[in-house]
Structures are given as C-alpha cells and as structure tokens.
Amino acid sequence: MEKIPKGTILIMAILIIGAMVGLLNQSALNTALPNIMGDFQLSTSTAQWLTTAFALVTGIVVPITAFLIQRFTTKQVFVFAMGLLTAGTLLCAVSPNFGLLLTGRIVQAVGVGIMLPLVQTLAFILIPVGKRGFTMGMIGLAINFAPAIGPVLNGWLVQDHSWRLLFYILFPFALLITIAGLWLIKNVTRQVKSKIDALSMALSSLGFGGVLYGFSVSGSKGWGSTEVLISLGIGCIALGLFVWRQLTMDNPLLELRVFTSPSFTLATAISMILMIIMLSAQLLLPIYMQTMLGYSALKSGLMLLPGAILMGVMSPVAGKLFDKMGARMLVIIGLSLTVVSALLFSNLTEHTSYAFLMIGYSLRMIGVSLTLLPVVTSGMNSLAPDLIRHGIPVNTTLRTVAGSIGTALLVTIMTYSGGGLGQTSDVHSLIHGMNVASMVTAGSAVLALILAFFIKRKEAPVERPAKGVPVK
C-alpha cells in the first residue's frame, strides 16, 4: 500500500489543527451566553445571534470554497481562512460592545466556512485511496472532539474567569497556525484563471441564507410567522434559480453534476439523515433534561461529553476499518446501533436515570462515528478528481442545511406533541412530545439503514488524472 509522504502529513496536520481551532471557536460560546447577556444587557433572542449568525454565515460561505480552491493557491486559501479566523478571534476578545462581538463572530464564521471543506478536499487530493479512510477518520476526530470539549472548557472558564479568556487563549494558537501555514504549506492544486459568477454568488447567499434563517428562527417566531414564511419562500425561489444557473453554465460555482454519480448521491442522502439524527440529539436531550427533569445546564452538557469523546476516538478506528472493508458493512452496523439508540429514547419518563441517558447517547455517537465519515468517503471516492473540489462543498452544504431543517422540525414535533414548551407544569405531556420526536428520529434512522443496503460492497475509486488536478 502506498505510503503518505512526510510533507503531506505535515500539511494535513496543519490543516486539521486549524480546523480544530475554528470549531472550538464555533461551539465554545454556547455556555457563555448567559454571562455575555449580563455584561452587555442583552435579551436571550439578541444574544442567540452570536451562534445563529455563525451558522448562517458558515452555510453561505461553504459553497464558494470550490471556486477559491480552483482560482487561488492552497497557501493563499489557507492563510486567508486562518487569517480571518485569527482576526475574528482577537476582535471577539477585545470587543467593547455587542456589535463588535457579533462582527468578530461573523469574521470567524467566514474563516471556518472555508477551512472545513478545504481540509476535506485536500485530503482527497493528497492522500492515496487506500489511506483516505484513516485520514478522514483523523479529520473526524478533530471535527467531533473540538465541538465536544469547547462548551465544557468555556463553562469552566466562565465559572472562574471571564468569557473573553477563551478567545485570548485561542488567539495565539490561531496566529501560530497561520504563520506555520504561510511557511510550510505548498500548493497542491492547479489554478484555473476563472472569474466568480456574481449572480450565482448572490443566489447562493440569498437561497441558503434564507432557508437557514427561516428554520433557525422558526422555533421562536412560529411556523406561521410572516418573517419565517417570507424567508423560506425567498430562500427556496433563490435556490431554484441557483440550481438552474449552475446546470446551464460552463464553469459553475458549484458543479451539481456530481449527482450523476449514484454512489455520491446515495452517500449524500445518508449523510444528510445522519446529521439530523446527530444534531437533534445534541439539542433535544439537554431540553428534556433541563425542562423536564430539572438538571442544570452544566450537568446536561456533561452528559453529552462521553458520547462526543467516544465519537472522536472511534472516527480513526472507523477510517481504518473503511480502508480494509469498505463502507457498506460499517454503515449497516452503525445505523443499526443508531436505530436502537433512537428507540431507547422513545420511551422516556420523568424517572429516566442519568446513566441511561449517557449510555444511550454514547451508543448513538458510536453508531454515527461508524457511519458518517465512511459513507462520505465512499461517495467521494466514486467521483473523478476534477469533481472532488465540488463534491465536498456540495455534501457539506447539504448536510448543514439538513441539520438545521431537521432539528427545527423535530423541535416543532416535540413542542406540538407535548402541548407546547410553555406548559412547564405538564411534565407528562412534554415527555410525550420528546418520545414522539424520538420515534420520528428512529424512523429516519430506519430509512437511512434501508438505503445503506444499496451501498456497493467495495467502491471502485476513480484516480485518473483530470483537468485542474496535478498528477502526483
């Protein structure tokens, strides 16, 4: 089996560490929101924009990464992304008011939105097929471990110090990684001197931004809200026009012809369902524990930590197994565990133990770790090299949108099935809503499991040289 050159290992290490710093910035602020609200005298809905805006901007930026990788050198794209992340982190640390803090979060989000697809795309360009599973597993460790440890780390810092301290700690790390990339990262892609299509960019931003915003505020505004309906309507129309334009252009912003590969299409569909299953658990279980069982925010967050750590640890293991046996059996086993976990959470009561919730959630995260990155890697291996730079942003964008839409729908199902979250005295009704949402999650997992049986036993990867990709 072909070995990975030391220079490639160094580049991938820098990219993965950079992604970890970005994801720590993304997730760590959640536990600090109450302190920030007190410092700047903010309402909950206003402070929530520090996380909502981050998610919106990241979703908007991801689709243009394919163009950036094609148009600029690897070093230029990396330094630009990490430079924005570094500058945004410093701005958040020193911000004297909410406006500048929100601006810093938006600048950070642009950097993270470029970094995540960049590191995955370069993994498929630099790494031999036989090593891609393990490499994606290591990327998965970073992607999963950083968001898991972020809220706990910042919760500890906030308890004894200021929420600003996290940004002061992350800033020198981000700056160091930026400087290291400036000196050590070499270009590994061939540039194509093309111009970005302004109309495609506008339609993409309006479409993805409108849909993500509509679903993000639906929980607080209500699905019948004029603001939600207008946002979703404009978003869907813009997305329709965006898709039509991409299919009629010679050099599209996103090459949607990646869906001519049945393996890629199948892998994307399964990964979208998995994002809904994973993110819904991270959202619904803390609501259930705090609203219905009376646990503190810190204790509900700690309940999620073992599962997240297990997922991070299992990701490289799943990658190694993928390199040996392909995706099909791993995905079937992982989704079977996920179905079992969802069924366990469909019969919760006011007496459900803390240990039961922790074990059930850990089981789900093990299932997702055996499934998510192997199925994405399998789908990407089916693409020609000139489509890989488009495949990763397409898959990442759709997973982001699916996660946002799915969690919003499941919160709605839980709320209406339980008679409304405002009725805190009727605990039985609220728990019934949680169980109904879990049953819907189980149904989604069963659908993904059925789709998994259509995955090829061993995907035949495409490794031929193609236009725009240098021959290694």
**127, 265: one domain:** no
Q: Is the pLDDT of residue 408 over 80?
A: no
Q: Say which amino acid occupies 378.
A: S
Q: Identify the helix (H) or strand (E) that includes residue 161.
A: none
Q: Say which amino acid occupies 256.
A: L
Higher-confidence position of 186 and 206: 206
pLDDT at 120: 83
**Model confidence at 220, in pLDDT bands (50, 70, 90)?**
low
Query: Do 39 and 158 touch, CB atoms closer than 8 A?
Result: no
Task: Report the chain's mean pLDDT, rounded to a whole number.
Answer: 82
Q: Tell me the per-residue pLDDT of 450-460, one tens digit each, with 9 for 90 and over.
A: 999 999 866 55
Region 340-359: mean pLDDT is 90
**159, 261: one domain:** no
Higher-confidence position of 353 and 384: 353
**Would you call 327 helix, strand, or coil by DSSP?**
coil
**162, 211: one domain:** no
pLDDT at 362: 92
Residue 254: C-alpha distances to residues 104, 205, 243 (Å): 28, 13, 9
Kindly state whether residue 134 falls inside one of the protein's structural domains.
Answer: yes
Kindly state whether residue 190 falls inside one of the protein's structural domains.
Answer: no
**361, 419: one domain:** yes
Q: Transcribe 46-106 into DSSP letters.
A: HHTHHHHHHHHHHHHHGGGHHHHHHHS-HHHHHHHHHHHHHHHHHHHHH-SSHHHHHHHHH
Domain holding 227, by residue range, is: 197-252
Q: Is the pLDDT of residue 335 over 80?
A: yes
- Give the best-scoring range by mean pLDDT among 95-99, 149-153, 402-406: 95-99
CA distance 174 to 176: 5
Share of the chain above pLDDT 90, in %: 26
Q: Tell me the per-residue pLDDT of 158-178, one tens digit each, with 9 for 90 and over.
A: 666 777 888 888 899 999 999
Q: Is the pLDDT of residue 256 over 90?
A: no
Residue 167's Cβ-count burial label (10 Å; 0-12, 13-18, 19+) is buried
**Model confidence at 273, in pLDDT bands (50, 70, 90)?**
very high
Q: Tell me the per-residue pLDDT of 6-42, one tens digit each, with 9 for 90 and over.
A: 778 888 888 888 888 888 877 667 667 667 878 888 7
CA distance 179 to 94: 22
User: Cα torsion for 240, 245, 248, 249, to the nearest 10°?
Assistant: -150
CA distance 71 to 191: 5
- Of the listed ranges 21-25, 317-321, 422-426, the one predicted with least confidence: 422-426
**451, 398: one domain:** yes
Kindly state whether residue 191 falls inside one of the protein's structural domains.
Answer: no
**289, 223: one domain:** no
Kindly state whether residue 3 falls inside one of the protein's structural domains.
Answer: yes
pLDDT at 216: 72
**287, 431: one domain:** yes
Q: Is the pLDDT of residue 154 over 90?
A: no
Region 117-125: mean pLDDT is 83
Written as six digits, the tokens of 117 are: 């697809």
Kindly state whether residue 1 falls inside one of the protein's structural domains.
Answer: yes
* CATH number, domain containing residue 144: 1.20.1250.20
**241, 259: one domain:** no
CA distance 435 to 91: 42
Region 58-75: mean pLDDT is 83
**Model confidence at 147, in pLDDT bands (50, 70, 90)?**
low
**219, 276: one domain:** no
Name the phi and psi angles at 459, rounded to 5. Answer: -65, 130
Higher-confidence position of 234 and 416: 234
